[in-house]
């Protein structure tokens, strides 16, 4: 192994260990990637998964371009427009308030991937943080080689309420505390 590759592996291991794990719906998620293509984005995978083979993935995106309620609404509309332009079905989109009364935008979108016999469901929360807006995206891939549509509908009927409540109260570390080295 070259010194450069060793150095890059060491930096990646340091970045992974420096980020606090996130527990969501009773499952621990570890930092699996960071990139800054546009906006800083951290992807947290379940302990037995990676960003390449996930069935559930928790993503945190910092949005330094949004600081007010009007900015947050503009951001949410932009997110919806982007999802729609990529073929997603918007299942729900609304402005809500957490227990403290702070508003956040919440949406549920579905991408159908027939060639993979699955739906990818994204549960998205966009909220204002202490400094900037941020988004939390909980992605779930629902697969069934025989009838993934029925399985995805059953998943939504059984789990969407719990996921929505968990998204409202999720303990996400402040983005300022997360590592910012790409790997």
**At which residue do the structure tokens 């546009």 appear?**
38
Asked whether the beta carbons of 171 and 103 are under 8 A apart, the reply is no
Lowest mean pLDDT across 29-38, 115-124, 147-156: 29-38
For residue 13, what pLDDT band results from cuts at 50, 70 and 90?
very low
Q: Cα separation of 25 and 156, whole Å? A: 15
Q: Exposure of 11 by Cβ count < 10 A (0-12 exposed, 13-18 middle, 19+ buried)?
A: middle
pTM assigned to the model = 0.87
Q: Which of 133, 143, 129, 172 is nearest to 56 (CA)?
A: 143
**At which residue do the structure tokens 């029925």 appear?**
150
Q: Cα separation of 55 and 42, whole Å? A: 17
Q: How many CB atoms lie within 10 A of CB 32?
A: 21
Residue positions counted in the chain: 183
Q: Which of the residue ranges 3-7, 130-134, 172-176 has the most confident prediction, judged by mean pLDDT?
A: 130-134
For residue 31, what pLDDT band results from cuts at 50, 70 and 90?
very high
What mean pLDDT value characterizes the chain? 89
pLDDT digits (tens, 9 = 90+) for 56-111: 999 999 999 999 999 999 999 999 999 999 999 999 999 999 989 999 999 999 99
Residue 135 has pLDDT above 50, yes or no: yes
Half-sphere exposure of 170 (CA within 13 A, CB side): 32
151 or 177, higher pLDDT: 151
Half-sphere exposure of 3 (CA within 13 A, CB side): 0
Position 37 scores a pLDDT of 86
Number of H helices, E strands in the chain: 3, 8
């Amino acid at each position: 192994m070259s010194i450069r590759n060793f150095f890059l592996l060491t930096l990646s291991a340091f970045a992974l260990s420096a980020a606090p794990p996130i527990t969501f719906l009773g499952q621990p998620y570890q930092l699996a990637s960071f990139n800054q293509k546009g906006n800083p984005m951290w992807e947290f995978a379940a302990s037995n998964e990676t960003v390449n083979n996930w069935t559930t993935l928790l993503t945190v995106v910092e949005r330094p371009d949004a600081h007010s309620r009007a900015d947050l609404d503009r951001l949410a509309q932009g997110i919806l427009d982007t999802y729609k332009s990529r073929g997603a079905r918007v299942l729900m989109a609304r402005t809500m308030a957490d227990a403290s009364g702070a508003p956040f935008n919440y949406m549920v979108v579905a991408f159908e991937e027939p060639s993979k016999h699955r739906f990818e469901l994204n549960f998205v929360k966009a909220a204002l943080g202490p400094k900037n807006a941020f988004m939390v995206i909980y992605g779930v891939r629902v697969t069934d080689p025989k009838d993934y549509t029925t399985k995805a509908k059953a998943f939504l009927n059984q789990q969407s309420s719990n996921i929505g409540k968990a998204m409202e109260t999720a303990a996400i570390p402040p983005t300022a505390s997360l590592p910012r080295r790409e790997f």
